[in-house]
Amino acid sequence: MKSKIVGLTMAIALSASVASLAQTGSTTAATTPTPSAPTAGTGSIAKIGVISIQDAILATNEGQKEFEALGKKFEPKRNEIKSLNDEIDSLKKQLDAQANKTDESRGTLVRQIETKQKSLSRTQEDAQNDFVGQQNEIAQKILQKMGPVIDKYAKDNGLSLILDVSKPWPDGPVLWAGQSVDITRPIVELYNSQSGVPAAPSASRPTGGTGTRPLGGATKPATKPSTAEPPK
């Protein structure tokens, strides 16, 4: 359950990052030459590629380094939240043990529990918002630098269209795609070679695809990089 929550948080955060740069991307596209589409009647077939931008960002050496550092940065906040949780659990146990005590004695404990629960909720919400905000900043920074890499790859390989499959169908635009058109891995490798950021010793490598993206959901790279865990 915990890993699902972490994955969901990352998906939400990075999806927001991609969306927030949509306008920027469209502006860039207006000023940057794009690959020429095949001329009708020439017999040429338009080449299409798919990429999971979310997976690509997470799989870069830079992304893994930045998100790992972010997780360590929020470790004190996670410890603070855990301490508050422990205090509340301790007070609840005291309350249960005083089942036969006076209402006044129990009322004091109830008020203490309520006060600490409110403090916990505020702390969790503030930490979560801060964490997601900083995740978005990291994702935006990498995405902005990844744009030219994708543009060059498309031109060098004669691609006429690239679709983002970060969201599985039906939420995303792609119903099905074969591994041969998945460019996630080569984009990550090109990005890494240009960024100059070395791979972490234990970093998993992106696969860029697992055969096909079937009806009902696009598959993700088989190996996922470690991601920072949001405060809870």
Region at 47 (left for phi over 0; alpha for psi -120 to 50; beta for the rest):
beta
Domain that holds residue 112: 2-213
Paired tokens of 147: 């744009």
The helix/strand count (H/E) of the chain reads as 7, 4
For strand 212-213 and strand 177-178, is the pairing parallel, antiparallel, or unpaired? antiparallel
In the Cβ-directed half-sphere of 126, how many Cα atoms lie within 13 Å?
9
Fill in the amino acid letter for 63.
G
Sign of CA pseudo-dihedral 168, 132, 146, 188: negative
> Is residue 219 a part of any domain in this protein?
no
Number of domains in the chain: 1
Q: Is the pTM of the predicted complex or chain greater than 0.85?
A: no
Asked if residue 164 is part of any domain, the answer here is: yes
pLDDT by 10s per residue, the chain, length 232:
333 333 434 444 444 444 444 444 433 333 334 444 444 444 568 899 999 999 999 999 999 999 999 999 999 999 999 999 999 999 999 888 887 777 777 888 999 999 999 999 999 999 999 999 999 999 999 999 999 999 999 999 999 999 999 999 999 989 999 999 999 999 999 999 999 999 887 655 444 443 334 333 333 333 343 445 566 6
pLDDT at 111: 93
Let me know if residue 93 belongs to a domain.
Answer: yes
Residues in the chain: 232
pLDDT of residue 231: 67
The C-alpha atoms of residue 28 and residue 20 are separated, in whole angstroms, by 14
CB 53 within 8 A of CB 182: no
Count CB neighbours of 87 within 10 A: 15
CA distances from 153 to 114, 179, 185, 231 (A): 57, 17, 12, 37
CA distance 39 to 228: 47
What pLDDT does 84 receive? 96
**Position 222 in a domain:** no
> 168 lies in a domain?
yes
Whether 194 is in a domain gets the answer yes
Number of Cβ atoms within 10 Å of the Cβ of 79: 11
Q: How far apart are CA 218 and CA 198, in angstroms?
A: 29
In a domain, 223, yes or no: no
Whether residue 225 lies inside any domain: the answer is no
Q: What does the alpha-carbon distance between residue 5 and residue 186 come to, in Å, rounded to a whole number?
A: 29
The answer to whether 74 touches 202, Cβ cutoff 8 Å, is no
